[in-house]
Structure 1
Amino acid sequence: MIVLDYKVTLLRYRLGLSERNLSSNGFSDWESILGITEDDMSQMQLRLGDRRKIQRMIRDYGSSCPPKCNETGSSWYTTKHKRPHDHQQQPRSHRSVRHPTADASLSEGSRQGRGLGEPTIVATERHRSPICDTTVGQRSPATYQIMRPQDESEPVRLGQDEVCHISVSLCINPNLLDTNTLPQEPVTLKNVKTFLQCTGALVYLWDPSDAMQQVRSLYHPVGGTVPANLVEVIAMATVGSYCDGTLEENASSDQFLQQFVSILSFPLSIGTLPRMRLFACLAICRLTSNIESARVLLLCALNIGREAFASPSFKAETPKVKLRHWWKVFQSVVFLESWLANNTHQNCRVNHEDLNLYEAPLSQSHNVTEICQEQIFQLGRLSTYASLFTMRNMEESSAMEGKHYLNVLTQWRESLPPLMQLSHICLDDPTVSDFQTKHMLLQFHILFLSLVIEPYRKCMRVLGKVRMGNIPIGTADLEALTSVEDYCVVSARQSARVASLVQFDNLVHAHSWTLLYACYVGCIILLHSAMQMLLQGNRDAVGLELAHASSHLGILSVCSYKNEVARRMYGRLQVIFNDAKDLLALPTNIDYMQVTTWDETIASPNEMVMKVAVECQEALTEPTLS
C-alpha cells in the first residue's frame, strides 16, 4: 500500500492551519501523531472540530494500513505502539523529539486522554484486527485488497505519489466523495463510447469489445463472470467526458475526473500492467492543464511497460493474445511520450529499444475497425521515430534527412483504406452516415496532420532566419528547407479544413489534446508563412493564409472559455494575427507612418513586418502547451 505523506493527509482533512501548531509541539510525522492524546490537544488549544478531524485521521490510518509483523509473528501494533501504561517496559522514544516549548508537565502517565479512549486510537490491543495475529507468509492475498509496500515496483510507487499530489492540487476531499456509488449507467455508457470513438481510437488502451463488456458487467453482473474493475470503467468514462466530451458536459466531466483521481489515490487490488494504462489515462487528462504532471505519469507508465517486456518469463508465460494486447498498450504509451516531448520541446525519454522489445505479429483481420486501429498503430510508430530523429540538433543539413521521413508519411497516407482518406470526409458526402465514424476520422486526420508538421518547426525557423539575412546557407540545403516548408504549409491548410469541419459539426472539445495541439501548430505555421510572403513582397497570397489561420483561431477561441491553456494560446496567436492583418492593409507606397502599438514611435512598414516575423519565429519553437 502507498502510505500518504503526513502533510498531504493533513491537507486532505483540512488541517493545514494546524500543521505549524502540531509540528512545534513535536507532532511532525505519523510516528508522533499516533501517540497524541486529548490532553495534548487541549494544551495546544486546538479547536474541537480540529480535534475530531485528527481522531478521524488516525482512525482511518489505522484501519487502512496493512499490519507489518516481525519475524516472531507479533503484530506491528504491539511492537511499535505500546500502550501508555507499558512505558516501563519500553519507553516511548519519539516523545524525546518534542519541541522545547512543549509543556514539560505532561508526563507519560497523564497521556491517558479523556476523549481518545484509553491511550491512543490505534494502540489499543482490543481494537486490533485479527489480521495482526498472522505473519506475512500466513496471510492470503484476499485478506485485504491492498498491495504491500514491498510488492510495489518503483514506477508504481512514483505514479501513486503523483496521483496523490494531483488529488491535493485539485482540492479533492475523499470524505465528500462516495467512491462506492456508481454513476448513472446511461451517462457512463455514453462517455465510454465517446472515449472509444475519439481518444481510444487514436491510442490503444482497451479493446473496444472488452471495454463495453466491462461496463455491462459492472452494472449488470452475471453469475460466473468476472466482475469489472470500477476504476477502469471510471478511467475510460473520465477521458471520454473530460477530453472528448462536448463543452456542455463540462460539469459532469469534472465529477468523473474527481472520482477517478479519488479512487486511484487509494490502494487498489489491481495488477501492475493495468496501472500502466490507468496512469496513461490520467496523463491524457493532464495534457492540457499541467505538462510536468503528465510527463511524470507517462514516465511511470513507460517504465512499467519496459520492466514487463524486458522480462523473459513474462513473454514466455503470457498467452500470445494478451501479450499482443499489452504490447499495443505499451506502444500507445510510447507514442504519447514522444508526442508530448515533441509538443513541449523537452527531452524524449523513449529509446529505440522501446520499439523492439517485442515483435508482434501483423493482424490478418479484415474488420474495418481493426484495420483502422492497425493503421493508427503504424502512425504512432512513425511519429516515435520522428521524435527520436528530432532529439538531435536540427540544423540546415537535417532537412535532407527530414525529406525521407515526409516521403514515408506520404506513402503511409496513400496506403490508407478509402474509408480513412481525408477526401472521404466532406459536408455533402452521403456515404458518411455514421456520425461517430466521422468524429473518429476527423480526430485521426487532425492528429496526422499535426504529426506531419511538428518535427520541422525548427527547420522553418532556420529558413526564416535565412530570408532575413541572419545566417548563410548552401543551395542544396535551401532547396531542402523550402521543400519541407511547402509540405508543412500544405498540411496546415488541410488541417484548417478539418478544423472547419469540426466546428461545423459541433465537435469542439475544450480539453481535446489533439485539437488544441493541432490548432496551435497549424495556426502558427500559417501565420509564419504569411509573414514570409510579406518579407518577399508577395502580398496577394497573404489573405488566403490568414483565412486558413482563422479556422484554427476560431476553435481556440471557443475552447478558451473552459481551458486556461487554450486561453493563453489564443491570446498570443490573436495578437500576431491582428498585426498581420494590419500590415496587409498598409498602403504599399508609404515608407513611414505613425505607429503606437510598437516600441518605436516612428517605424517603417518593412521594420514592422520584420518585427512580426521575429515574433512568429519565436512562437514556432516555444513549448505549445506549457
Structure 2
Amino acid sequence: MVSSFRLIQPAAQQPLPAGAIGESAHPRASSVKLGKRIHSVAQACRNCRQNKVKCDGRRPQCGTCVSKLRSCRYESKVNQPRRAALKSRLEALERLFTTLQAKPTQDANLLLQQIRSSDDIDALLDLEDETSPPSLNGSINTSSGISSLSTPTAGSASEEQSVRSSPSRSQSTVSSSLQATDVSNDADQKASIHSSTPASRELSMDMSRSLVSLVIPSATTTQSAVDSFFNSSGRLFHVFSREQILRYHEDVFVNDGCTVPNQKTAICCLAAVAAVGVQYNSDDFDVGTDAVFYDVARHFFENLVEEQPLDAIKACTMLAMYNMMNKATVSLAYIDIGLSMSKRHSLNDKLYHHPSLSPEEWIDYRRTWRTLIWLSSTLGYIKGGHISFREMVPLVEVELDHSCEVSHIVQTEMTKISLLNAEILRMHLSSKEMTCQAIDAIDKDLQDWHDLLPSQMHLPNLCRQDLPVEARRSILATHLLYLGTRMLLYRRIASQFVWPSPTDDESIVARESYEEYLLSHADQAITAARQSSRILGLLQAEKGIFKKCWLIIFQSYTSCVVLLHCVAQKQIHQFPRSSWEDDLAQARMCLDVLSFCSTLDSSKHAVADNARTVSES
C-alpha cells in the first residue's frame, strides 16, 4: 500500500559565503556557521570558573556570586589580559619567597605563620605589591596584650603548653590562625620525606609545628570581659561561677604546670564567657574582640566535649547566648546540642543524682539545663515536638534541697513564665482562632503562676538590704516577662476581635461573648503596661539596662504602644487631661528606653522610630 503522505525532501543547499570557499577541506566546512548564542565575557571570576557556572563579568562582584552570597575575586584588573595577570601573580609569589629567605628567623617565622593562617592568599599578594619587600610591622597590628599558646613539638619531652606574650595580628589572622591543620597534601609530604635526611625532617617538623599558635586577647582584656559578663548579665546566665572562671583564667595565663588537655578546656570556657561579656559593653573593647573570643571557644569546644561533657553543656549555653545576641540562627544548633547532651546525662530528671558528683555539683548542672530551656523558650524552639512548652513547666521546678535560695528560685520562676509565654506564642501562630476555652486555660496558668510566686519575689519585698543587686534585677526582669505575657494575650485577643467574621446568629453571639473577654483583658493589659513602664524606669535609674537586651526592647515597645493607644482613646472620647496625662508620661519613659537601646544597631533603631511615629501621630 502506497502512503498518501508526501516524502520529506532534503534541505536545499545553501550557497557558501565568498570567504569560506577553499577555507577548509573538512566536510563540515560547507555548512554555514550559526550565530553565537552564548554571550562571552572578557574574564570570569575565580569562583565561577572553578564551579563551572556562568559569570556575567561584573565588577567588583559578579551577579552569580552576589546571588549566592560568596566572595568574588578576579585574577586580573579591568582590561588586563589573563596572561599578564598570571605573570604578575607569579612575580608577587617570587617576591614573597625572596622575603622569606632574606628576613631574620623570627620575622620569617611570623610571616610564614601569617601565610599559613590566612584565608585569602591574594590579600597577602596585594600587600606584597604595595610594600616590596613587605614590612612585618606594617602588616601586623602591634597592639600589645595577646597571649599565644603554642602546640608542643614532636621531639619535646614535655607535654605542657605555656602562655607567652606576642604581638597582635589583624582580626582575620587572629581568628583563622587557630586552625592547626597542615596545608600541604599527602604527595608533597611523601616527596619531602624521601628527599630529606632524618635530621632535617625532624627539624622541619618541629619548626612547622611551632608556627601554629592559638591566640587570645591579653589577660587584662580577658579579665575585663569576664567582669563585664558577671556585672551586666542576670543570675540566670551565670552557668559558670566567678570562682570557676577565675581558676580557668589562672590556668591559661598564670599556671605554667597546667596540662595540655586542661588548658584547652580552660581556654574554651574562659573564651565563651568573655565573648558574651564583650557583647554587653562593646564600647569598652576594640571592634572584633568578641569575635576573637568566640572563635577561640569554638576551636576548643570539641576538646571540651571529649574531656568534660557536662561543662561542654555550659559552654553550649554561652555560645548559644552569644549568637542570640548577634541574631544568628546558629544559636538553635548550640541549643539543640546542649539539650541533647543534657538529656543524655539525665539533667532533665530532677529526681536523678549523678553517682560521681556531689549534690551541689549536680544541682549546678541542673541550673545550666534550666538556662538552656529559657533560651529555647525565648526562641520559641523546643527539641523534638512531642512535648509542649506548658508540659515542660513541672520539669524545671527547683530541687527541694535548694528551695530557699533566692538565685535558684528566681531562675526557676523566670524559666516557668518564659515557657508559658512561648506556649501563648505557639498557639497564636498555630491556630487562626483562639477559643474561649483556650483563653481561660492560659489565663488560669498565668494567674496560678502569679499566685504561687514565692514571697521573696514579690515586688514590695525588693527593698530589702540583704538582696543582691543581681538578684533584684533578675526579679524585676521576671516580672517584666509576666507583664509582657499578659499584654501578649491581650494583643492576641484584640487582633482576633478585629478580624472579619461570619454574620450568622451563632457567630454574632460568639462575638459578643468574645467582646467581654477583650474588655476584661484590656484593663489587665493597660495595668501591665503601666507597671512595666515603672519597672523600666527603676532599671534605667540604676543603670541596669543594657542595649542588647531584647526583653527590655520588646517590653518597652509593647508597653509604649498599649499606653499610647489608651491615651488616644481617652482623647477621642474627650476624657479630662488628668485621666491620661500620667499614661502619656509613662509612654515617654518607654520611648526614652527605646532610644537608649537603638544606638547600637539598625534593627533596634527601626523599632524606636516606629514607636516614636506612633507617639507623634
Q: Do the aligned partners of residues 564 and 415 (structure 1) sit closer, same or farther apart at CA in structure 2, a change above 3 Å counting? A: same
Tell whether 2:451 aligns with 1:452. Answer: no
Q: In 2, distance between residues paired with 1:330 and 1:488?
A: 32
Q: Give 1:456 deviation, angstroms.
A: 4.4
Alignment partners' CA distance in 1, 2:423 and 2:565:
26
Q: Which amino acid aligns with 2:186?
A: H
Contact 2:486 2:525 in 1 (8 A): yes
- The Cα shift of 1:448 comes to 3.3
Q: Does 1:251 align with 2:293?
A: no
CA contact (8 A) 2:275 2:294 kept: no
Residue 239 of structure 2 corresponds to 205
Instruction: Return the structure number with greater relative CO, CA threshold 8 A, min gap 6.
Output: 1
> Partners of 1:561 and 1:186 in 2: how far apart?
26
For structure 2, the 5+ residue unaligned runs are 1-42, 54-84, 101-109, 120-149, 155-180
Matched to 1:338, the amino acid is S
- Matching residue's letter, 2:541: F
- 1:275 deviation in Å? 4.1
Structure 1 CA distance for aligned equivalents of residues 293 and 228 of structure 2: 13
Q: CA deviation at 1:487?
A: 1.9
Q: For residues 340 and 564 of structure 1, what CA distance do their matches in structure 2 show?
A: 21
Aligned counterpart, 2:321: 284
Contact persistence 1:288–1:565 (CA under 8 A): no
Task: Report the CA distance shift for 1:522/1:251 in structure 2 as closer, same or farther (over 3 A).
Answer: same
Conserved? CA contact 1:298–1:333, under 8 Å? yes
CA contact (8 A) 1:283 1:295 kept: yes
Change (3 A) 1:45 1:377: same
Note if 1:372 corresponds to 2:410: yes
- Which residue of 2 is the match for residue 486 of structure 1? 523
SS of the residue corresponding to residue 486 of structure 2 reads: helix
Give deviations 1:156-199, integer Å, cap 9, x for gaps.
xxxxxxxxxxxxxxxxxxx999316323576255324315xx33
Corresponding residue number in structure 2 for 1:331: 370
CA deviation profile, 1:549-594 (whole Å, cap 9, x unmatched): 2111101111222232221110111001100xxxxxxxxxxxxxxx
Pair 1:561 & 2:599 matched? yes
Percent of aligned positions that are identical: 14
Tell me the equivalent position of 1:92.
none
Letter in 2 for 1:281: M
Pairs within 5 Å for 1:233-252: 233-243=270-280, 245=281, 250-252=283-285
Q: Specify the code of the residue in structure 2 equivalent to 1:258.
A: A
CA drift at 1:497: 0.4
| Structure-2 change in CA distance of 1:213 and 1:257 (3 Å) | same
Q: Equivalent residue for 1:395?
A: 433
Q: Distance in 2 between matches of 1:420 and 1:357?
A: 19
CA contact (8 A) 1:530 1:542 kept: yes
2:92 corresponding residue in structure 1: 47
Cα distance in 2, alignment partners of residues 85 and 372 from structure 1: 61
Aligned to 2:594, what secondary structure does the other structure show? helix
1:185-241 CA-to-partner distances (Å, cap 9, x unmatched) read 76255324315xx33x23463356655665566666598997771332333344344
Indicate if the aligned counterparts of 2:595 and 2:608 stay in contact, CA closer than 8 A.
yes
Q: How many residues align?
A: 450
2:29 aligns with: none
Aligned to 1:352: 387
State the 1:494 CA deviation.
0.6
After superposition, the CA RMSD in angstroms is 5.2
Which aligned pairs between 1:22-37 and structure 2 lie closer than 5 A? 24=49
Matched, 1:81 2:186: yes
Offset, 1:451: 3.5
Which protein shows a greater Rg?
2
Asked if structure 2 preserves the Cα contact closer than 8 Å seen for 1:189 and 1:215, the reply is: no
Distance in 1 separating the partners of 2:244 and 2:214: 28
Q: CA deviation at 1:43?
A: 7.5
- 1:449 and 1:492 in contact (8 A); partners too: yes
State the one-letter code of the partner of 1:401: A
The 1:484–1:203 alpha-carbon spacing in structure 2 relative to 1, beyond 3 Å, is farther
User: 1:402 & 1:420 partners in 2: Cα distance?
Assistant: 26
Find the aligned partners of 2:552 and 2:348 in 1 and give their Cα distance: 37
Q: Which residue of 2 aligns with 1:232?
A: 269
Write the distance in 2 (CA, Å) between the matches of 1:378 and 1:459: 22
Matches within 5 A, 1:87-486: 178-179=215-216, 181-184=218-221, 187-188=224-225, 190-195=227-232, 198-199=233-234, 201-203=235-237, 205-206=239-240, 210=244, 214=248, 229-243=266-280, 245=281, 250-252=283-285, 256-268=289-301, 269-271=303-305, 272-290=309-327, 292-306=329-343, 309=346, 319=357, 321=359, 324-341=363-380, 351-352=386-387, 355=392, 362-365=399-402, 366-393=404-431, 395-397=433-435, 399-425=436-462, 431=465, 435-464=469-498, 473-486=510-523
1:576 — aligned with what? 614
**TM-score scaled by length of structure 2:** 0.58
Equivalent position of 1:500 in the other structure: 537
The AA in structure 1 aligned to 2:240 is: W
Q: Deviations over 1:15-41 (max 9, x none)?
A: xxx99458858999xxxxxxxxxxx97
Deviations 1:103-126 (A, max 9, x none): xxxxxxxxx9xxxx9999xxx976
Contact map agreement 2:563 2:584 (CA 8 A) in 1: yes
The Cα shift of 1:475 comes to: 2.4
